Amino acid sequence: MPAKIEIKTDNDTRAEVRRAKLAPLSSGKISSLEIVDVYAVDAELAESQLPAVASMLTNPVTQKSSYSKSLFPDNFDWVVEIGFLPGVTDNVGTTAREGIEDLLNAKFGSVQGVFTSQRTFLSGTVSKEDVQRFADTLYNPVIQRVAVKTKDEFLHEADKIVIPRVKLDTLPVADIVNILDLADDELAVIGKSGIANSDGTRRGPLALDITYMKEIQAYFRNKGRNPTDLELESIAQTWSEHCHHTIFADQIDDITDGLFKHYIKRSTNEIRAKKGEKDFCVSVFTDNAGGIIFDERFVVCHKVETHNSPSALDPFGGSITGIVGVNRDPMGFGMGSKPFLNQYGFCFADPNDETIIYKGKNYTQPMLSPRRIMDGVIDGVNVGGNCSGIPTPQGFLFFDQRYKGKPLVFVGTAGLIPRTVNGKPSHEKTAMAGDYIVMVGGRVGKDGIHGATFSSEAMDSGSPATAVQIGDPITQKKESDAIVKEARDLGLYNSITDNGAGGLSCSVAEMAKECGGCYVKLDQVPLKYPGLAPWETWVSESQERMTLSVPKDKWAAFSDLMKRRGVEATIIGEFTDSGKCVVDYNGKNVMDVEMDFLHDGLPERPMKSQATMTFHKEPSLEELDDLTGTLYKMLARQNIASFEFISMQYDHEVQGGSVLKPLQGRGRVNADTTVTRPVLDSNKAVIMSQGINPKYSDIDTYHMAACAIDTAVRNAVAAGANLEHLALLDNFCWCSSNEPERLGQLKNAVMACYDYATAYGTPFVSGKDSMFNDFKGFDADGNPIKISVPPTLLVSSFGVMEDSKKAVSLDAKFAGDLVYVLGETKNELGGSEYFAMHEATGAFVPEVDAEKNLKLYKALSNCISEELVASAQSVHKGGLGVALAKTAMGGLLGMEVCLDNLSGMFWRDDFTLYSESQGRVVVTVAPENKDKFEKLMEGNFFARVGVVKEDKSFVVKSAHKVVINGDVDEMLKSYKSTFAGY
């Protein structure tokens, strides 16, 4: 008999916050709002056991609970009930279940459980429409169910217990798919829309084009049989753009070895060869993350991923799955590294834009608003990062209306691993034939299959499971600790990788390459609920899972350890040297495909690119005498403004290694670069930064990429990085990558990656691409629209600092310090934030002179190493004006600066202040260090432009005129106004 426990918290902060959030959505008044948490317990509990269970879930100081009848306030008009849809991970429910099992010393049945939901009671002069609107902001239809009830409706069934149990009526078998005799057009339909179900509907895209489908047809004709659905799905996963990166791998124009090998990998190879003995790379491009030497004891690795499409549909679920998912990349690096540092970067549309766009015709399937997406994405990384105990200091926000169809959600994680584990280099691993294939961590459900969503009938126990899951950081934290802090060093496995895209089908097949084959008993895979078809089990992207190869004689010890750590580990097959990937299900063979075909059978699809020229006129802007107001406006721009509300909710102190934090100085200004010590007894640190500016792509993607690299490198150098020990990661988020023009833009950007990585000697060690960030739908008037993101490249820099005490923060330190601008300022406002403020693009995009910059960066590094630099702020978005302002605001000190001495070519004060010329850094230097500093900088373009002041005046002069007469407190007010209240 199911039971129900309800809990009400006194002075519930959540209720207060919710009331404040909902109030603006209605013209009426909410006079009170209360929240009751509900645990529905689907298990055989005796009446007499309920008080103890309720007491366990209730804090008697601040909470009341009831297990016999419902809790509700005396006065209320409406109730909003929100719970999960069937099959969606209910983390709180799972914990409650474990607690109850522990308390009563009894086990629940396999389909039993605890299901949580929440009731919000409202009273006031609000209409049903208002309450419905409230409800819409409180729940996500993809994963949650909602009911809005009047008081009478509620009282009528207040004690009803809702158990959202999954029931699936299809019989789990593998189907044979007839393709041998199909004509090309019929093959194409399968490739595009998926395998047909018995009712004629399709299972969702295989994303296999006709070239690929014909190759598969030929392969099975040769075998003399049709494939199973599982075989087709498995090949589709392995050959997908997501897994195989064909756009980067295949021939393009006359580049036969493809863009990746020809430009990115080649640049890394050349840099490593040139460095010789000083090569610090350990493992590049081959593993789940890229690894570099940290010191004589440790290797650090790093990986940055994107999770864009899921975040558009379910921002919270998409981003938490993104961050927790990318945590598994370092966990799967080499023999398993410990995640110690996260980074993030979000590209959104204007959160003030409330115009709705639709996925479907006739105003159906509305997209979430940019603000909803932004709030949800930020919250997802908050929960994922904080719960995992991994610091998340480093990040950025970037806004452009072309992210309205699809936001970009970048998430990255760095890991730490000893250089040798059990006497062997830790980055090497080999699954051996005869090892058990072991799945560790979470269970498999219908999550993320084809990334599509299943339709769900709310509140009905017969609903199918939904496709989007909420990540469970704690399941993964337990798994991570048990593996990288214990099993690894006990030598209990031979190889490890994570389950990401394509689930088992990819992780097992990938590891099987190491030994030459695998044999899987798919019915052994633990499921979240019964009824999954074999192909679903095989390709499901359920989270929190790693795949390991465990030698038979180590299984007992491995299994025992996992049990004692509360981590589920299951043998699902064996690695072999058969040359084949073989899968059985309930004693029946459902897959038997040669490894060679699976991994390398896909035919090349040569691509043609087309060069395009874009030309935007320089805008003619009024030249103001007083630029004070302009500076305030620039500081409040979404792309420049403070996002300390994020920095103050993402824990950047955990693990005890924080050196340079995301907010710096008295003014708490957002920094471009953070420094973290991963080894507690070492003074060495990892320095991390990022460079991105998609607006430059509107003029030229080559220079866009060059600027991203230069910015990522420069930011790091300004904070104290050593160019000799700095690596890069690339994340391409492109659009419409089947169009020759877009491929032409891509080719240019990749060429820049080669040119500038080589010039700086900073090797790319890992990367990821996402090639189709396009939205096809309908605008607010129902007209068809396509929104493509601007070609976006995120370059992340990460390197090793010898002495963390030499790190340099951005804030001016003392009045009287001298202000310098290093580098040349040119008339390069194309794609700048200043032009964007005037709704213009402009003609002259910043160009990067690597040779000159390299010399300057090395000189700056020397100065930092000699401890001559009191503060440093790299110049990027918003140009010199913003960089000088950040230095002053950071120190809460004034500044007096004259533009006349600047190096470079310029003729208008506003252009001088807001040009985004690369290769520049604003530094302050103590007067006593002036001579030494200037001597070390000799031979570079640099200028002493002013001095730090005790009062808070911010004065910029040009040709003896005052062009900015600002006040640092006012500047900070503007800088922090944009996202105040977020």
Partner 1 sequence: MAAPNVLVMTGYGINCDEETKFAFEKAGAKAKIVHINDLTDGHDRLSNYQILAFPGGFSYGDDTGSGNAFANRVRNNLWEETRKFVEGDHLAIGICNGFQIMVNLGLVPALCGQYGDRQAALAHNDSARYHVRWVDLEFGGSSPWTTNIGTISVPVAHGEGKFYVTHSALMRLKEKGMIAAKYVSGEMCQYQNLPPNPNGSLEDVAGILDESGRLIGMMPHPERAIDFTHLPNWPLLKEKLKREGKPLPAEGPGMKIFRNAVEYFK
Q: Supply the residues annotated as catalytic.
A: 242, 307
Q: Taking CB under 8 A as the rule, does residue 950 contact partner 1?
A: no
How many residues form the binding site for partner 1 (CB under 8 A)?
Answer: 71
User: Which span sits near partner 1 by CB under 8 A: 449-457, 657-665, 894-902, 942-950?
Assistant: 657-665
Nearest distance, CB of residue 432 and partner 1, angstroms: 29
Between 471 and 879, CB nearer to partner 1: 471
Calculate the alpha carbon distances from 805 to 681, 719, 909, 928 in Å: 14, 11, 37, 20
Q: What's the rounded Cα separation, in Å, for the pair 895 and 946? A: 7
- Beta carbons of 723 and 857 less than 8 angstroms apart: yes
Q: Taking CB under 8 A as the rule, does residue 613 contact partner 1?
A: no
Between 210 and 474, CB nearer to partner 1: 474
Residues 6+ apart with CB under 8 A from 88: 143, 144, 164, 465, 466, 468, 469, 470
Q: Taking CB under 8 A as the rule, does residue 668 contact partner 1?
A: yes
Binding residue for partner 1, selected from 95, 269, 578, 682, defined by CB under 8 A: 95
Between 569 and 848, CB nearer to partner 1: 569
Closest residue by Cα to residue 598 from 617, 583, 614: 583
Q: Taking CB under 8 A as the rule, does residue 926 contact partner 1?
A: yes
Nearest distance, CB of residue 807 and partner 1, angstroms: 7
Using the structure block, give the residue that is written with the tokens 């202040």. Answer: 913
Between 46 and 680, CB nearer to partner 1: 680
Q: Taking CB under 8 A as the rule, does residue 286 contact partner 1?
A: no
Q: Taking CB under 8 A as the rule, does residue 59 contact partner 1?
A: yes
The DSSP secondary structure of 26-79, one letter per residue, reads: -SS-EEEEEEEEEEEEES---GGGHHHHHHHT--TTTEEEESSS----SS-SEE
Q: Taking CB under 8 A as the rule, does residue 557 contact partner 1?
A: no
- Show the DSSP H helices in 194-314 as ranges: 210-223, 229-239, 241-244, 246-249, 258-259, 266-275, 308-313
Nearest distance, CB of residue 680 and partner 1, angstroms: 4
User: Which span sits near partner 1 by CB under 8 A: 232-240, 737-745, 803-811, 930-938?
Assistant: 803-811
H or E stretch at 108: none
H or E stretch at 669: strand 669-670
Binding residue for partner 1, selected from 814, 855, 962, 965, defined by CB under 8 A: 814
Q: Taking CB under 8 A as the rule, does residue 665 contact partner 1?
A: yes
Binders of partner 1 among residues 246 to 285 (CB under 8 A) are: none
User: Which span sits near partner 1 by CB under 8 A: 417-425, 606-614, 675-683, 782-790?
Assistant: 675-683
Q: Taking CB under 8 A as the rule, does residue 755 contact partner 1?
A: no
Q: Taking CB under 8 A as the rule, does residue 388 contact partner 1?
A: yes
The DSSP secondary structure of 512-536, one letter per residue, reads: HHHHT-EEEEGGGS-BSSS---HHH
- Beta carbons of 193 and 240 less than 8 angstroms apart: no
H or E stretch at 630: helix 628-635
Closest residue by Cα to residue 433 from 495, 525, 506, 524: 495
Calculate the alpha carbon distances from 775 to 367, 605, 789 in Å: 10, 25, 9
C-alpha angle 147-407-708 in degrees, rounded to nearest 5:
160
User: Which span sits near partner 1 by CB under 8 A: 276-284, 468-476, 510-518, 937-945?
Assistant: 468-476
Nearest distance, CB of residue 59 and partner 1, angstroms: 5
Binders of partner 1 among residues 1 to 40 (CB under 8 A) are: 9, 11-14, 16-17
Main-chain dihedrals φ then ψ at residue 832, nearest 5 degrees: -80, 160
Q: Taking CB under 8 A as the rule, does residue 560 contact partner 1?
A: no
Binding residue for partner 1, selected from 68, 73, 75, 98, defined by CB under 8 A: 98
Q: Taking CB under 8 A as the rule, does residue 117 contact partner 1?
A: no
Q: Taking CB under 8 A as the rule, does residue 681 contact partner 1?
A: yes
Handedness of CA 324, 550, 496, 579 (dihedral sign): negative
Q: Taking CB under 8 A as the rule, does residue 981 contact partner 1?
A: no
Nearest distance, CB of residue 656 and partner 1, angstroms: 3
- Beta carbons of 784 and 364 less than 8 angstroms apart: no
Binders of partner 1 among residues 311 to 350 (CB under 8 A) are: none
Nearest distance, CB of residue 189 and partner 1, angstroms: 44
Q: Taking CB under 8 A as the rule, does residue 661 contact partner 1?
A: yes
**563-592 footprint of partner 1 as x/- string (CB under 8 A):** -xxx--------------------------
Binders of partner 1 among residues 162 to 201 (CB under 8 A) are: none
Q: Taking CB under 8 A as the rule, does residue 377 contact partner 1?
A: no
Between 103 and 196, CB nearer to partner 1: 103
Structure tokens at 366: 């509305």
Nearest distance, CB of residue 651 and partner 1, angstroms: 4
How many C-beta atoms lie closer than 10 Å to residue 751's C-beta?
A: 18
- Show the DSSP H helices in 410-497 as ranges: 473-482
Compute the CA torsion angle 71, 73, 76, 78 (nearest 10 deg): -30
Between 107 and 805, CB nearer to partner 1: 805
Q: What's the rounded Cα separation, in Å, for the pair 335 and 291? A: 12
Q: Taking CB under 8 A as the rule, does residue 931 contact partner 1?
A: no
- Beta carbons of 691 and 707 less than 8 angstroms apart: yes
Q: Taking CB under 8 A as the rule, does residue 473 contact partner 1?
A: yes
Nearest distance, CB of residue 343 and partner 1, angstroms: 16
Q: Taking CB under 8 A as the rule, does residue 766 contact partner 1?
A: no
Handedness of CA 736, 741, 747, 749 (dihedral sign): negative
- Beta carbons of 895 and 817 less than 8 angstroms apart: no
Q: Taking CB under 8 A as the rule, does residue 387 contact partner 1?
A: yes
Between 168 and 807, CB nearer to partner 1: 807
Q: What's the rounded Cα separation, in Å, for the pair 666 and 892? A: 6
Using the structure block, give the residue that is written with the tokens 């058969």. Answer: 578
Between 464 and 667, CB nearer to partner 1: 667
User: Which span sits near partner 1 by CB under 8 A: 623-631, 652-660, 733-741, 942-950?
Assistant: 652-660
Nearest distance, CB of residue 849 and partner 1, angstroms: 30
302 - beta bridge partners?
Answer: 290, 414
Nearest distance, CB of residue 339 and partner 1, angstroms: 11
Binding residue for partner 1, selected from 807, 840, 880, 923, defined by CB under 8 A: 807
Binding residue for partner 1, selected from 171, 183, 273, 680, defined by CB under 8 A: 680
Q: Taking CB under 8 A as the rule, does residue 82 contact partner 1?
A: no
Q: What's the rounded Cα separation, in Å, for the pair 253 and 583? A: 39
Q: Taking CB under 8 A as the rule, does residue 866 contact partner 1?
A: no
Q: Taking CB under 8 A as the rule, does residue 394 contact partner 1?
A: no
Binding residue for partner 1, selected from 303, 742, 813, 957, defined by CB under 8 A: 813
Binding residue for partner 1, selected from 64, 521, 666, 908, defined by CB under 8 A: 666
The DSSP secondary structure of 311-376, one letter per residue, reads: HHHSHHHHHHHHHHHHHHHHHTSTT--EEEEEEEEEEE--TT-----EEETTTEEEPPPHHHHHHH
Q: Taking CB under 8 A as the rule, does residue 161 contact partner 1?
A: no
Q: Taking CB under 8 A as the rule, does residue 60 contact partner 1?
A: yes
Binding residue for partner 1, selected from 23, 25, 32, 56, defined by CB under 8 A: 56
Structure tokens at 140: 């996500």
User: Which span sits near partner 1 by CB under 8 A: 69-77, 90-98, 120-128, 605-613?
Assistant: 90-98
414-442 burial, b at 16+ Cβ within 10 Å, e below that, comes to: bbbbbbebeeeebbebebebebbbbbbbb
Q: Taking CB under 8 A as the rule, does residue 57 contact partner 1?
A: yes
961 - beta bridge partners?
Answer: 958
Please report, in angstroms and rounded to a whole number, the separation of the first and last CA atoms in the chain.
44
Q: Taking CB under 8 A as the rule, does residue 92 contact partner 1?
A: yes
